[in-house]
A and B are shown apart, each in its own frame.
Chain A
Amino acid sequence: MANPDTPVDDTSGAAEALNDPQFVEDLRRRMLRFATLQLSDPHLAEDAVQEAFIGALRGSGSFAGRAAYRSWVFGILRHKIADQLRARTRYATAPVEDAEPDPTPDGFFEQDGHWTDDAAPADWGDPHASLREAHFWRVFEACLDHLPGQQARVFMMREFVELESPEICSAVGISTSNLNVSLHRARLRLRSCLQQHWFGEESPRP
């Protein structure tokens, strides 16, 4: 990753990225999946992704490469989705119950509510070094992709789009207690997935 303060050939990064159909298609597919999950409307999602690509063109000239381009265009999409979801909260009526109940994660707790031996959270030490490792992010994305639909949707709204809980409740039409159940389950699953596929691995982590 280039230091933003060092002179870089600005335009070549975006041009190079946009000239690689595979890169553009992978990015578009990932954005579309995220937008569809968040907005629950394939047409609005298409539009939002399209607009994000167009918005990114206006900012071209400031990319240090594909990575920066990807970050930029995804950031625009994130803001568009936040705006759309917030706009929905203004028209939302009383919360309705979840159409799709979240499955309870199996095997995390014994009957008496204590951790099962396999599920008990281990000590991760200082996990922050992982944030700089490319492979960590691939595992992280894969774990996010494995969350059930409703859990993934509200968890991403909360932690990625960064809406507040009341905004999510009215945008999705669920009660606070439903939201809390989904977030609790998403957190249980996600940390379990990371322990299984990253922090519990044998290879030494810094």
Chain B
Amino acid sequence: MNCHDATRTMSEEQERSLTLGEQVGLNVHLAACPPCRNFRRQIAFLRESMRAYARHPEADERDPSQ
């Protein structure tokens, strides 16, 4: 598994349960690849951000000086 495959697998992980084979392949790759570990945290953060954005779009109107 290379980084492109790993990111695709991590993206699908947000949509469905991975097969055992996919989990093992992904974990082996992640153990050796810090950028892909960052990617995994970051797409989880994207999901959280989108949900925060959906519920509180007012955040963008606050006074930045506060």
Contacts and interface: CB of A to CB of B under 8 A. Distances in A.
A71 B55 contact: yes
Chain A at the B interface: mostly helix, strand, loop or mixed? helix
Contact of B54 (A78, A131, A165, A190): A78
A162 B39 contact: no
Contacts of B41: 124
A136 B5 CA distance: 30
Given A109-B4, A112-B2, A134 B59 contact: yes
Contacts of A91: none
Size range of the chain B interface in the assembly: 35 or more
Interface in A105-158: 108-109, 112-115, 120-124, 127-128, 131-138, 140-141, 158
Size range of the chain A interface in the assembly: 35 or more
A70 B61 contact: yes
Interface in B30-52: 34-36, 38-39, 41-43, 45-52
B27 to A, nearest CB: 17
Given A71-B57, A179-B15, 12 more contacts: A70-B57, A75-B55, A113-B2, A115-B3, A121-B35, A133-B64, A134-B59, A180-B12, A184-B12, A187-B43, A191-B39, A191-B42
Interface of A: 1, 66-68, 70-71, 74-75, 78, 108-109, 112-115, 120-124, 127-128, 131-138, 140-141, 158-160, 162, 165, 179-180, 183-184, 187-188, 190-191, 194
